[in-house]
Structure 1
Amino acid sequence: MTVIPEFTGKRLVLARHRRRMTLAALARTSKLTTHSLTHFENRLKYPSPQSLDRLARALDVTPEFLQAPPPQTILPEAMSLRSPTRLTARKRYSAVAVAELSAACVAWIETYLWLPCPNLPSWPQMDPEHAAEDLRAHWHMGDAPSGPLTPLLESHGIRIFALPPDCDDVGAFSTRQSGTPFVFLPSHLDGQQARQHLAYELGQLVLGPSRPGHRDSRTAALQFATAFLMPRTGVMASMLRAATPERLAAAANTWGVSTSAVLHRLHDLELLPEWSHRTTAQELGGRTGPSSSPGSTSVECSHMLPKVVAYLRARRLPIESVAELTALRTDDPPCWPTMSGTGAPTTAASWDPSG
């Protein structure tokens, strides 16, 4: 029997996890035995060319994908998965597969062009409020509204990807791989939701996932996100102590958050007494949700995406070939997704490196 020494068992496991398939399900689809699959995954034996083709078809990958070197491993413990104990093993492993394949994509791109170096400190022992203030100072942001977060984070070396739709149920998460920070967002988010998730995951990265999924870790990340989006000095300078609902809505548009978020921030900073906070919240009523006025929340778009695509195409590099090493389907060009106003990736920028 002809063997394929290049076959990588890790790649088989990676593709199976990404597709959320059990060994039994893959055995049924590929018409191979679970015994053989276990041996393939543990590299106790190699598949024949015919078996390799069966596996590729069952997993919707290319044979080259299964033969390529495995990407660097990312441990689930190093990922800021929301409520990881409530996620099934299949969902957790699929998220890990997405992260590993996305990191491999970045490594492939970096062999051809320079990407911004990571400029994100880690302050695990710092108070969330002060950590947000110090990061703003580190990035020379002052106390002004941040504007769109995606290009800001990308400029400081944070790689942002949209989760494939079949992994949206995992929720947003972040991780670091070899010092490079990554953030993954569900594909259905609107502009305001994307901002909130980006700020939250930024907090997870800065404060560190020492206890990922732990309630204290989530609370700290939320406090960080609030302080980062609405810095104390900027909010205090807005003179919103006795603001009308209309002024609060205008402030929410300025900061790119919901009106209720502004109201809670004022209360947390002791700029509103309890009675005033309750009265204003009742006044706002249905207006405490995301603002619906045009342009109230900036659309989160990648500035790096068009540059990466233009560079690769201008040099006639085989963009599709990255799929054989990092992606699960060969008909997707390698780029970061751009979040549209409705949260769906745009056609020209919807590449998902993990299929």
Structure 2
Amino acid sequence: MERNDFNPRMVTLARESAGLTQSSLAHLAGISQGLISKIENGFEVPQENILGALAHSCDVPPDFFFQSDELLGDGLVDFYHKKRLTLPVKPLKKANALANVRRLEAIRLLRTLEFDSVVRFPVCAPDEEWAPEAAAQMVRATWRVPPGPMPNLVALVEATGVPVFIADLGHEKLSAICMPGIAGKHVIVLNEMLPPSARRFALAHELGHLVMHNGYASEDMERDADAFASALLMPAYEIRRELQGLKFRDLGQLKMRWRVSMAALIKRAQDLGAISERQCRTFFMQLSKMPGGRKRESGEFEPENPRLMRHLIEYYERELGYSRAEIAKLMVLKEERLMECYLGEDPRKVRSITPQRRLHVVPALEA
């Protein structure tokens, strides 16, 4: 990358994805906050030593600041996120930046690969308005999901070539973020703070945004995305009979069968008329009195973990002959972070160990 390709927006992106303020970055880099401000606003181009200090402080390679790719989410307009009105600005900025970084890393791997048999990502036409229930039925039909509980939702989404990430989004009220990309290059980031049942619902919620809203915001989009998630995970025509005469003691078994939270089951039962509003309030009061309450319900199942990015990295390494240093350079991240975040390895323990050859399978190519 040429020195005149310096992109000041990438300094802001690196800083916010690391959860740093201008003053904290200035302290770590040993420079003034005023200089940081001038650099981010394009009034100063940092010298090589300052560039290195900024990169080290944000845990990115210096090449990170020379990327020219388009960023999404400025002003929180171009991407969808599930948040509460009380969510502080700082974790929202961090989450937005983190999603942008993950999106750039994924795009760099995906742009040079061709998927011949990718499962189609279902999207409602821009000139059509789909009700959440109908949109959820369309998705299940497109993916040929059999009747009953939804299978591994992470695997189904990633089979379309859309990577799913699990990361610390900085605040439990921010359940997930999705970024609609060009030509279906979407990215979904789920909050690792959530228990598996809540994380699965959050993924279905973000999927609803990408399927129904297709780059456009609306006043009811959050409510519609919740309704879509409920309909996708608990289809009315299948679950209604199981919710008739619902008792609180039934919720644990239903949770394991449908792989949704007890809170989601209670809400779905009320929406379908299986229980009254009064019963709904009583169930929620009982749920709140349980150990962990509504935030940490008992009886969680095993989480659904993403695999697409790891398989893509292994494909570059095993089939295309890339070294890990070259893959890290392609993704514009440090090799240590590639190993830790994407391969689940401790760089300190495996630095001198030659990795064993493993059978490579890309889920997206199997579908």
The amino acid across from 1:206 in the alignment is V
2:151 counterpart SS class: coil
Matched, 1:267 2:270: yes
1:73 maps to which residue? 71
Decide whether aligned partners of structure 1 residues 38 and 272 sit closer, same or farther in structure 2, where only a CA change above 3 A counts.
closer
**Deviation of residue 138 (structure 1)?**
2.2
Partner Cα distance (2:171, 2:160) in 1: 26
**Deviation of residue 273 (structure 1)?**
5.0
The amino acid across from 1:29 in the alignment is L
Q: Deviations over 1:183-205 (max 9, x none)?
A: 11112333212211111112222
Asked if structure 1 preserves the Cα contact closer than 8 Å seen for 2:95 and 2:170, the reply is: no
Alignment counterpart, residue 140 of structure 1, candidates 120, 138, 144 = 144
Q: How does 1:1-355 map to 2 (within 5 A)?
A: 4-66=3-65, 68-75=66-73, 76-83=76-83, 86-114=86-114, 116=118, 119-122=121-124, 125-164=129-168, 166=170, 170-178=174-182, 179-208=184-213, 210-211=216-217, 216-236=220-240, 238-243=241-246, 245=248, 247-273=250-276, 286=290, 292-293=298-299, 297-315=301-319, 316-324=321-329, 326=331, 329-333=334-338, 347-348=344-345
Partner Cα distance (1:86, 1:322) in 2: 40
Partner Cα distance (1:250, 1:24) in 2: 51
Decide whether aligned partners of structure 1 residues 167 and 177 sit closer, same or farther in structure 2, where only a CA change above 3 A counts.
farther
The amino acid across from 2:96 in the alignment is V
Asked if structure 1 preserves the Cα contact closer than 8 Å seen for 2:94 and 2:169, the reply is: no
Asked if structure 1 preserves the Cα contact closer than 8 Å seen for 2:95 and 2:169, the reply is: no
How many residues align? The count is: 334
Decide whether aligned partners of structure 1 residues 38 and 262 sit closer, same or farther in structure 2, where only a CA change above 3 A counts.
closer
Decide whether aligned partners of structure 1 residues 325 and 157 sit closer, same or farther in structure 2, where only a CA change above 3 A counts.
closer
1:174 counterpart SS class: strand
Asked if structure 2 preserves the Cα contact closer than 8 Å seen for 1:84 and 1:92, the reply is: no
The amino acid across from 1:347 in the alignment is G
The amino acid across from 2:101 in the alignment is L
Partner Cα distance (1:261, 1:182) in 2: 25
Structure 2 unaligned blocks of 5 or more? 348-367
Decide whether aligned partners of structure 1 residues 244 and 330 sit closer, same or farther in structure 2, where only a CA change above 3 A counts.
same
2:3 counterpart SS class: coil
The amino acid across from 1:203 in the alignment is G
Decide whether aligned partners of structure 1 residues 63 and 231 sit closer, same or farther in structure 2, where only a CA change above 3 A counts.
same
TM-score with structure 1 setting the length: 0.78
The amino acid across from 1:200 in the alignment is H
Asked if structure 1 preserves the Cα contact closer than 8 Å seen for 2:234 and 2:258, the reply is: yes
Alpha-carbon RMSD across the aligned residues, in angstroms, is 3.6
Asked if structure 2 preserves the Cα contact closer than 8 Å seen for 1:15 and 1:328, the reply is: no
Partner Cα distance (2:266, 2:234) in 1: 11
Asked if structure 2 preserves the Cα contact closer than 8 Å seen for 1:163 and 1:187, the reply is: yes
Q: Deviations over 1:116-136 (max 9, x none)?
A: 465131367222122212222
Decide whether aligned partners of structure 1 residues 187 and 240 sit closer, same or farther in structure 2, where only a CA change above 3 A counts.
closer
1:341 maps to which residue? none
Q: Deviations over 1:91-122 (max 9, x none)?
A: 33322321221111112212453454651313
TM-score with structure 2 setting the length: 0.76
Decide whether aligned partners of structure 1 residues 117 and 260 sit closer, same or farther in structure 2, where only a CA change above 3 A counts.
closer
**Deviation of residue 149 (structure 1)?**
1.1
Partner Cα distance (1:151, 1:247) in 2: 28
